[in-house]
Amino acid sequence: METKSKPSLIKSFEKGQGKDKQLIKQFIQRQVEKGTGQSILQLKENHSEQHLFYIALKHITTTKKALCKALDINIDNACRYKRELELNGNLVQSIDEIVCPYTGFMAHLISTNPKEFQRLQKSNTNQTKLSL
């Protein structure tokens, strides 16, 4: 039986390298704090969880799971927030998937920053699309 080797990033997560996850969470938190000029605690005190989700994604483009872990947002709630923001045209998800910095699995980037929308909606693959 042949087994495929897993990418080294995924292996590092399986080895329990929580330090990497903690650094990712801290990086996301710092970017949000730097962009807003407020601490995460202040943002949580002054805004609903849904608005915090929106505000944070104006200052960092990342995966939903990484953002949820950094801001301690329930993933089920984040799914609802994401859907509503997409329907309103306030959030864009990348066409291509990347390796999530938090989980190590393939995922889409998301952003509420209009400056990121065009970049995320452009595919980086050279694969031609077939139309029927």
Residue 8 lies in a domain: no
What CATH number corresponds to the domain at position 49? 1.10.10
Domain count, the chain: 1
Per this entry, what is the length of the chain? 132
Which domain does 90 fall in, by range? Answer: 15-120
| Burial class (CB within 10 angstroms; exposed 0-12, middle 13-18, buried 19+) of 34 | exposed
Looking at residue 65, what is its pLDDT? 97
Instruction: Record the pTM.
Output: 0.80
Residue 6 lies in a domain: no
Residue 65 lies in a domain: yes
Q: Which residue shows structure tokens 């505000």?
A: 55
Residue 125 lies in a domain: no
Per-residue pLDDT of the chain (132 residues; tens, 9 = 90+): 444 444 444 444 445 456 789 999 999 999 999 999 999 999 999 999 999 999 999 999 999 999 999 999 999 999 999 999 999 999 999 999 999 999 999 999 999 999 999 999 998 765 544 444
For the chain, where are the alpha helices, taking DSSP H only? 8-14, 18-36, 40-46, 49-59, 64-71, 75-87, 114-120
